[in-house]
Chains A and B, each alone.
Chain A
Amino acid sequence: MANQQPNSGNPRVDIEYRRKKSAEEMKHQVITFALMIFLTIVAFVAAGYEGFSGWFIVPFILILAIVQVIFQLYYFMHMSHKGHEAPALFLYSGALVGFITIIAFLTVIWW
């Protein structure tokens, strides 16, 4: 993974290597950003377009949102890097509890 400490024994070489690695990573971040913008625009267009029914649009834009959040977590928040096992456990536990809460409120509660 990017940004791990390399060991060539020569600090100058290591720095150059790291700089190149993080510049490469930054390029990926910009691509990620472009994809996120694209997903956002698709979601807004889908919601604004009259021709689609709600039964199609709602699941479609929810999937787009989940994909975008995965980009945000794994690239912008660096969860794709090493040493993020505990953060993943925390976050997914939270997401699981949250998901159950939402399902409960949508199905068990009515007025």
Chain B
Amino acid sequence: MAAEQKMTYETWPASPEKQTLEAKNKFLGFWFFLGGETVLFASLFATYLALKDKVPSSDMALAKDLFEIPLAFIMTMLLLTSSLTSVYAMYHMKNFNFKKMQLWLGITVLLGLGFLGLEIYEFNHYVHEFHHSFTSSAFGSAFYTLVGFHGGHVAFGLLWITTLMIRNSKRGLSLYNAPKFYVASLYWHFIDVVWVFIFTVVYLMGMVG
């Protein structure tokens, strides 16, 4: 099936994300990239765990002084819900319903923005209330590198999805752009996968001590 072919509800295939050769390569290449991302984040987790609570003086804030359950919980819920809304978007993509896909992607972006806003508030709070900054201690460096890298992924994911939505807003769905939407949603889910480990390893284990 040619990528530029005009599709209808009747001719839309069951797996539009894997119809053309380009789409198949994109799918495979993207999963290979996610394998690499796993290693990248694992090494940041390893660094964080090795340097956790390593501060130069005893009056500096440790993990158990910094983290609070409510904020981490709200951020987790926002990101987890945005993962479901992007599943909804892909459901409508498979049913060739472009408008509803755009709508759910839009909701995903809003939830992601909410998450990012809270993270900025959180970092600002740590820096000003606790003097816990990137350069204040090895603990600070490891913390901001790990959590900030994840936040950077969220920001990039938001830009990516928004760009796709705007770029294709007047084009509708085709076998050329369906794999692009699919791969972007995979990326968004992967961000949530990483966050599950962040809230467990950094926040919850930090509060336990």
Q: Footprint of B on A, CB under 8 Å?
A: 3-6, 11-12, 15, 18-19, 22, 25-26, 29-30, 33, 36-37, 40, 43-44, 46-48, 54, 57-58, 61-62, 64-65, 68-69, 72-73, 76-77, 83, 86-87, 90-91, 93-95, 97-99, 101-102, 104-106, 109, 111
On whether the beta carbons of B28 and A86 are closer than 8 Å, the reply is yes
Q: Which residue of B lies closest to A103 (CB)?
A: B46
Residues of B within 8 A of A54 (CB): 208-209
Determine the chain A residues whose CB is within 8 A of the CB of B47 once the complex forms: 105
Q: Report the separation of the CA atoms of residues A11 and B13 in the bound assembly, to the nearest whole angstrom.
A: 11
Stretch at the interface among B80-88, B120-128, B129-137, B155-163: B80-88
Residues of B within 8 A of A90 (CB): 31-32, 34-35
**Chain A residue with the shortest CB-CB distance to B48:** A105
- A68 contacts B49, CB within 8 Å? no
The residue on A at minimum CB distance from B11 is A11
Cα(A109)–Cα(B80), bound, Å: 34
A104 to B88, CA, bound (A): 40
Label chain A's interface by main secondary structure.
helix
Known: A19-B95, A22-B91. A94 touches B46 (CB 8 A): no
Once the chains bind, are A101 and B204 in contact (CB under 8 Å)? no
User: Are A73's CB and B42's CB within 8 A?
Assistant: no
For residue A108, give the distance in angstroms from its CB to the closest CB of chain B. Answer: 9
* Complex CA–CA separation, A86 to B26 (angstroms): 13
List, in ascending order, chain B residues with CB within 8 A of A40's CB: 73, 76-77, 80, 199
